[in-house]
């Protein structure tokens, strides 16, 4: 009985240490110039509301949170132009391999200037291609995810 109990505890400990990859879609969120942030509980870079407890876990010094500590999306005027703009996405997610993405989208689903997913651990940033503000049907959007 004693050996059986030890085997059960050992098996439980081994199984508890295994991780199974997610079969569902990855965690994502972001910002849109027309609707704002998808999760208003995530601070923007300028708010500086990141607490040390959100960044580190007990014992290991680094434990990833379930969502980023901050995400900022913004439009940036292209230097030397009156009508050209880019989009910048910046995400801070300590201890987590994640991406930032910036692109222009319209209601028909057409995408322009897509930065693609730019990965990093701790922080990541992405900058879209430039687009003229004369193309008013396009909206600036940024994303974060795993």
Query: Long-range contacts of range 79-83, CB-CB < 8 Å, 24 or more positions apart?
Result: 81/130, 83/132, 83/133, 83/134
What average pLDDT does range 76-91 have in this prediction?
A: 94
Contact between 86 and 128 under an 8 Å Cβ cutoff? The reply is yes
pLDDT at 10 over 60: no
Of the candidate ranges 19-23, 27-31, 64-68, 110-114, the one whose mean pLDDT is the lowest: 19-23
Nearest to 87 by CA among 141, 136, 37: 141
92: three-class secondary structure by DSSP: strand
Q: How far is CA 132 from CA 32, 75, 86, 142, in A?
A: 17, 12, 9, 18
**pLDDT band at residue 42, thresholds of 50, 70 and 90?**
confident
């Amino acid at each position: 009985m004693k050996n059986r109990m030890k085997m059960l505890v050992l098996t439980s400990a081994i199984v508890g240490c295994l991780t199974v990859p997610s079969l569902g879609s990855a965690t994502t969120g972001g910002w849109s110039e027309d609707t704002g942030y998808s999760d208003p509980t995530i601070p923007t870079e300028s708010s500086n509301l990141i607490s040390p407890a959100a960044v580190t876990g007990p014992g290991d010094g680094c434990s990833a949170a379930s969502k980023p500590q901050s995400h900022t999306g913004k439009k940036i005027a292209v230097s030397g132009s009156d009508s050209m703009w880019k989009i910048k996405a910046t995400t801070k997610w300590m201890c987590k391999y994640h991406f930032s993405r910036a692109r222009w989208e319209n209601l028909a689903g057409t995408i322009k200037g897509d930065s693609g997913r730019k990965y990093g651990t701790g922080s990541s940033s992405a900058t879209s291609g430039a687009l003229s503000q004369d193309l008013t049907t396009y909206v600036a959007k940024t994303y974060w995810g795993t």
